[in-house]
Amino acid sequence: MRLWPRTLGMQLIVVTAVAVFLSNAAVALWFELGSERLSENDLTERVVDRAASITTLMASIPPKARRPATEALKSKLWQFSVEQGNVVPAPMNPSEARIASRLRSMLPPKYADAPIAVHFASWPGAPPNPHKDWRRGLDTIEMSLPVVRNTRLVATFIKPPPPPWPTEIVIAAIVAALVASAAGAYIARRVARPLSKLADAASLVARGETAPRVPEVGPDDVCHAAQAFNTMTDQVTRTLERQRQLLSAVGHDLRTPITAMRINTEFVEDSELRDRLQRNVDELQALTEAVLSAARGAGGEAPRQIDLSSLVESVCADLDDLGEPVTWQGHPPAPLSCRANEIQRAVRNLIENAVAYGHNADVSIREAGDAYEVVVEDNGPGIAEEDQTRVFEPFVRLESSRNLETGGTGLGLTLVRAIAQGHGGAVALENRDSGGLRATLRLPRKPAKG
């Protein structure tokens, strides 16, 4: 089973090739056996006829002439000798007995009671036969026939070699198998290509990225799968878009009443109450701005060339100044063209999460192929695998964080993902073996357009 190929293409090729080859071989064998049986019967008739007529001939010529006559009658296939004595009956197998009785029926009636012996054997004088009869292992038929009283004729027939297995049949079988496998390969390509495109697109969706439309080609069944997939991604895109529009509308419409509230708080005379109200308004405003940025995702800011390393370092330093447990591992300059404010925001969100939910943040930059990866690790509880996709959705906060005093909005990671994707990158979460969460923000050095 280890030899059994795993891909659909190879399986189709192997199955068709084997099937075609076997069916060809079976048909060839069938014909071969059929014609063999025919020529075998034909041959037996001719052998019997010749042996019987030569026996009759020997009986009708003078005894002296018999020996020269047998000499003259010898051929490549026949040997004759006239011997003293009657035929000695010997036990015969059914095929030998059948030939004996055919012989008897051809001899004149006066021989009706005389014994006849037939013996299939390998005859020592037979010329080497490269095509030894592989079915029965015999190559001569020795027949002892009564000529006259006390004289017998021993006629030995050397079976001609069976015709060799025709090479044409073998070549035809190979060619048929090749042609059929080429056809199999073609079909497999038509099926497997769209299927692997579909699989690629599906894993993109699973990673939370926008899936390209898969081409709706190939056989009907495959084509239907592609159509269903495209319909599904359209639906998902529309839902996401509606969500984005909703966020955007809410964020936008909140701005005006917040501004009004801010102005109105100025008129509150009790300074303590005024300060509290203003703090509340500030929080509301920050929330609204976060909603708006999450809805906008990327956009607005123009990309510029920065050093990612010093950008991350300055975010770490700012938080460190505020007394947060943030460690920066350091990294040589990492030039990157990006929307720096967005990247700064994304990095800060990740670090703030690490500090808020994971007690500390350990920040580093890795170079991974054609991308930089900002890695933020903490020593907290991590995030259960089944929640790792959900936390990117807007307003999703896990049960554990509700109890904490960190009054987040649940938009931080939504924003990080929007920013990463806006830069042609991605963000991934995973639990560390040693405990805690590892958040990786991947940013291609040559960001995708858009």
Ligand X SMILES: Nc1ncnc2c1ncn2[C@@H]1O[C@H](COP(=O)(O)OP(=O)(O)OP(=O)(O)O)[C@@H](O)[C@H]1O
Q: Return residues touching ligand X (CB under 6 A).
A: 349, 353-354, 357-358, 378, 380-381, 383, 391, 396-398, 400-401, 408-414, 437
Nearest-CB residue for Mg ion: 412
| Binding string, residues 380-409; x marks residues near Mg ion by CB under 5 A | ----------------------------x-
d(CA 161, CA 246): 91
d(CA 203, CA 214): 12
293 binds Mg ion (CB under 5 A): no
Q: Which is nearer to ligand X, 389 or 409 (CB)?
A: 409
Which of the choices Mg ion, ligand X, none does residue 380 contact, using the CB cut-off of 5 to 8 A by kind? ligand X
Q: Which is nearer to Mg ion, 380 or 408 (CB)?
A: 408
Residue type, 358: G
Q: Which is nearer to ligand X, 154 or 326 (CB)?
A: 326
CA dihedral 59, 60, 63, 69 (to 10 degrees): -90
d(CA 419, CA 426): 9
d(CA 225, CA 394): 31
Are 32 and 165 within 8 A, CB to CB?
yes
Are 327 and 319 within 8 A, CB to CB?
no
Which of the choices ligand X, Mg ion, none does residue 258 contact, using the CB cut-off of 5 to 8 A by kind? none
- Which strand (E) or helix (H) includes residue 97? helix 94-106
Q: What tokens were used for 72?
A: 């003259």
Nearest-approach distance from CB 205 to Mg ion, in angstroms: 25
Other beta carbons within 10 angstroms of residue 204's beta carbon come to 14
Nearest-approach distance from CB 16 to ligand X, in angstroms: 53
d(CA 203, CA 205): 5
Q: Which is nearer to ligand X, 218 or 408 (CB)?
A: 408
| Binding string, residues 127-166; x marks residues near Mg ion by CB under 5 A | ----------------------------------------
d(CA 16, CA 185): 9
Q: Which is nearer to Mg ion, 99 or 291 (CB)?
A: 291
- Tell me, by CB under 5 A, how many residues bind Mg ion: 3
Are 86 and 146 within 8 A, CB to CB?
yes
Which of the choices ligand X, Mg ion, none does residue 411 contact, using the CB cut-off of 5 to 8 A by kind? ligand X
Nearest-approach distance from CB 435 to ligand X, in angstroms: 11
Nearest-approach distance from CB 332 to ligand X, in angstroms: 27
Q: Which is nearer to ligand X, 374 or 437 (CB)?
A: 437
Which of the choices ligand X, Mg ion, none does residue 401 contact, using the CB cut-off of 5 to 8 A by kind? ligand X
Are 77 and 157 within 8 A, CB to CB?
yes
Return the residue of 412, 425, 436, 447 that touches Mg ion, per CB under 5 A. 412
164 DSSP assignment: P
CA 257 to chain centre: 60
Token look-up 């299927």 returns: 195
| Binding string, residues 341-370; x marks residues near Mg ion by CB under 5 A | ------------x-----------------
Number of alpha carbons in the 13 Å side-chain half-sphere of residue 43: 16
How many H helices and E strands in the chain?
Answer: 10, 11
Which of the choices Mg ion, ligand X, none does residue 397 contact, using the CB cut-off of 5 to 8 A by kind? ligand X
Q: Which is nearer to Mg ion, 176 or 398 (CB)?
A: 398
328 DSSP assignment: E
| Binding string, residues 303-342; x marks residues near Mg ion by CB under 5 A | ----------------------------------------
The residues of the shown chain that bind Mg ion, judged by CB under 5 A, are 353, 408, 412
